[in-house]
Chain A
Amino acid sequence: MTTPSRPVLGLNRITKRFAGLTANDAVTLHLDKGEILALLGENGAGKTTLMNILFGHYTADEGEVIVNGAVLPSGQPRAAIKAGVGMVHQHFTLAANLTVLENIIIGSEPLWRLDSRRAEARARIADIADRFGLPVNPDARVGDLSVGERQRVEIVKALYREAQILILDEPTAVLARQEAERLFATLRGMTAGGLSFIFISHKLHEVMAASDRVVVLRGGKVVAERKTAATNPAELAELMVGRQVARPSRAAHPTGKPVVEAKGLSVDERGKRELDAVEFQVCEGEILGIVGVSGNGQAILGRALSGLARPSAGSLTLQGTDISLLTPRELIRLGLGRIPEDRHAEGMVGELAVWENAVLERLHEPTFSRRGFVRRSAARAFAAELIGRFDIRGATPETRTRLLSGGNMQKLILGRNLAARPRFLLANQPTRGLDEGAIAAVHAELLAAREQGAAILLITEDLDEATALSDRIQAIVKGRLSRPIPSIRADARTLGLMMAGVWEAHDAV
């Protein structure tokens, strides 16, 4: 349905360097009218930098941006907006305490007028919503909206400013699968109205499903350009990573005695039952996968198992002794490893050195402190050992942790947990936002820990990951857990039903 005509947008040999690092190296690409172009690349490949240059957030060191035949003055978002370029950021830039209408007109309405043209704006928003199939309620408070709805508001905001070219930075990072599919269907419909899109992604399946053309970025350079119809996920993966990657697969392995067991475990927060009488059992040498659509209680389950949320009922036992009321420090001392859901917010203190983060959980152990004083050489040696053993790239013990990439940060978190040979490991969304190479590394480490007898509870939204790693799988729906099924029986249809809350059919297991 899209017949590429003339390019509406061109990037000509864009180069951007950050202190010693070339984020974009002579990148040239174009976007045709009515086209959906996917910009594919691993984390750190330079995708976001490139789009920030295009939108004027950054100034390119070399090269130019051409919109509809005219060179865009660099470093001026206003010029980009005027030329019809809109950007939907990965982290939304909406004010939560304002209404949808206010968020949309803010910035495009003259600042010093009292008679703001709200009625007019309302009509235009209704028109946009109607024309492009983007229903929004102009009077809803943004803080009350779901992430999918907020994203829609961001898109409407760009269209309100008469954007003809929309850039979406990892638009599905925060969306559930159904929401993502809906988004891409909407974009497809909008191309018929003459709009053109660039979306940034590192997810192969959505690039295959939603784009007309793919530009693959690796190490700041364009390494390939393909018509989507003429390529396949395997080729794209190889182009993106630069080598063939295969996720490791799980070998059959006998499981041992139960290690961690939850019976009727419930957590109340702010008067609401967030976790409702969940039951599970994880055994030595076993990975138990918990799957579910985002926001169904994964976070609270993770917090309860990390010692950060107090159960209001039920029991959580480690080899028979109750641990439900213990603090994080006591859990760590008992040999529980925990990989947090959000590695930046909970996993690491970004401003501290790698060695400080490596030992932060275990500062009180005699290995790392004596009479209240940190044994710095022992801690540094430990960090150096983790860096070597877990292949943490770009790090020395002294490196500021913030400077590590997501994947390497995750390897550091894994290492900090696995080095202590935990009896139990909670892995909460361990590969979220990681690229293929890092995912393979994390999977290999989790499977190795399983081989060595660790009991692992894997909470994930990635069904491929759940089925590849887990021995048994349970679904989490509205704070409740289904009965487990063996992962060999976990086909897409069965898991889909379980995640929809239909699990009576499987109660026989």
Chain B
Amino acid sequence: MRFERRADVSPVALVLAPFAAILVALGLCSVLIAAAGVSPLTAYAEMLRGAYSSRLAVTETLTRASPLILTGLAAAVAFRAQLWNIGGEGQFYIGALVAAGLGHSLLAGFPVPVAIALLMAASMVAGGLLLAGPAFLRLRFGVDEVVTTLLLNFIVILFVGLMVEGPMKDPMAFGWPQSVPVEGDLRLPDLVARSRLHVGLLVALAAVAVVWVVQMRTVFGAETRAAGLNPRAAAFAGVPLGRTLMLVAGLSGGLAGLAGAIEVLGPTGYVTTNMSPGFGYAGIVVAMLAALHPAGVVAAAVFVATVFVGADAMSRATGVPSFIADVIMSVSLLAMLTALLFTTYRVRR
């Protein structure tokens, strides 16, 4: 058996790849569910019910999808430029921390929409700067950004812990390590009454549209794609590789930071060290399932959110541990990487 490179990648195959990957992942995970003594079909039905059976469930799934869209977009933007940003989690937290810190009282006097926009911008800058460091180290000294961005996640989360136990600690929280909440009128308005779904979803969708236009229509997007696909040829053609990489780092880190901001300004209102169920890491899965395409990111984020929200409900109904959500997600990623291999190569006997 051999792999033979296909002359050209069919766009249909590329669209079908994530669906095939997800089916394979669900198939493999049903073995684990069966081992837990539950019929896989029942379990998956419970998951779907948990994620979509009621108005509340749907809004909860979309609430969960909102930051995932942004972290997924952050990973997709970086990966396209061959910048391996594994630090979405840290950038998410730094964005959240900045939004909570500034949103507490510093922006009094500004009109509310302006203040919210400023908070989001500040979170984006923070996230962007956090990734700019590793990007610069790679450019200047060739330091592998996979290592630096990954390790920064732990440093940032420890720093968040330091802040919420110390200077930012809410004295009214009965000793819980959480920050002082942001001003009530700086919270993002609800999108659906009596739910947690907030305007952050629209912010995320707008970010998708902006990134799509930038990638496909602008000079910066064209140069970024060229630099990602063949850096030597791009440099020869006059694309400033260093500057492009730094801008991509700013954009990618900024998007993950924005995810942190909408989470604080939306559902939670304050920062804790466990506010993210791995949004940054899940963003990598989202980006891969989306084949790095901005529009695909939305669909992939909704899928991942469905698995997470649905798994909780399924766990309550059937007793299968909700960790199955992490397993489904990880297996989907592996299946997707395999599926991408088959879109580029065919198997010959």
A residues apposed to B, CB below 8 Å: 18-19, 21, 57-59, 75, 306-308, 327-329, 331-332, 338, 340, 345-352, 356, 360-361, 363-364, 369, 372-374, 376, 400, 403
Contact = CB atoms under 8 A, between A and B. Distances in A.
A328 B233 contact: no
A328 B222 CA distance: 17
Nearest to A400: B8
B227 to A, nearest CB: 9
B240 interface: yes
A345 B232 contact: yes
Given A372-B219, A373-B219, A400-B8, A346 B233 contact: yes
B240 A329 contact: yes
B240 A352 contact: no
Contacts of A57: 2
A327 B226 contact: no
Interface string B230-264: 10111111111000000000000000000000000
B229 A352 contact: yes
A350 B6 CA distance: 14
Contacts of A369: 219
A75 B348 contact: yes
Contact of A328 (B8, B225, B235): B235
B144 interface: no
B234 A349 contact: yes
Contacts of B239: 329, 360
Ordered nearest first, which 3 A-B pairs have the shortest CB separation? A329-B238, A328-B238, A349-B230
15 contacts: A75-B349, A329-B238, A332-B238, A338-B236, A346-B236, A347-B233, A348-B233, A349-B229, A350-B229, A351-B230, A352-B225, A356-B222, A363-B223, A374-B218, A376-B217
B220 interface: yes
A348 B232 CA distance: 9
Interface in B246-303: none
B240 A327 contact: yes
A489 to B, nearest CB: 35
Name the residue among B222, B226, B239 with the largest chain A CB count within 10 angstroms.
B222
Given A374-B219, A403-B8, A347 B236 contact: yes
B2 A75 contact: yes
Contacts of A338: 236
A65 to B, nearest CB: 16
B7 A403 contact: yes
A337 to B, nearest CB: 12
Contacts of B219: 363-364, 369, 372-374
Interface in B1-56: 2, 4, 6-8
Contact of A372 (B218, B229, B234, B238): B218
Interface residues of B, number: 27
Contacts of A327: 238, 240
A179 B168 CA distance: 73
A346 B241 CA distance: 14
A332 B240 CA distance: 13
Given A306-B236, A328-B237, A350 B230 contact: yes
A50 to B, nearest CB: 15
A364 to B, nearest CB: 6
Nearest to A331: B238
Nearest to B4: A58
B222 A374 contact: yes
Nearest to A360: B237
Given A348-B230, A350-B230, 9 more contacts: A19-B6, A58-B348, A332-B238, A345-B233, A348-B233, A349-B233, A356-B222, A374-B219, A400-B8
Contacts of B230: 345, 348-351
A361 B238 contact: yes
Contacts of A75: 2, 348-349
B104 to A, nearest CB: 37
Contacts of A19: 6-7
A338 to B, nearest CB: 7
A372 B234 CA distance: 18
B345 to A, nearest CB: 13
Nearest to A330: B238
A57 B349 CA distance: 10
Contacts of B236: 306, 308, 328, 338, 340, 346-347
A1 to B, nearest CB: 39
A143 B225 CA distance: 32
A403 to B, nearest CB: 7
A18 B6 CA distance: 9
B226 A373 contact: no
A360 B6 CA distance: 26
Contacts of A21: 7
Nearest to B348: A59
Nearest to A57: B2
A275 B219 CA distance: 35
Contacts of B234: 349, 360
A207 B2 CA distance: 33
A19 B6 CA distance: 9
A346 B239 CA distance: 12
Interface string B92-124: 000000000000000000000000000000000
Contacts of B232: 345-346
Contacts of A306: 236
A347 B348 CA distance: 32
A360 B226 contact: yes
A210 B226 CA distance: 43
A360 B218 CA distance: 12
Nearest to A20: B7
Contacts of B229: 349-352
Nearest to A363: B219
A374 B226 CA distance: 14
A338 B222 CA distance: 21
Contacts of A400: 8
A352 B223 CA distance: 11
Nearest to B1: A75
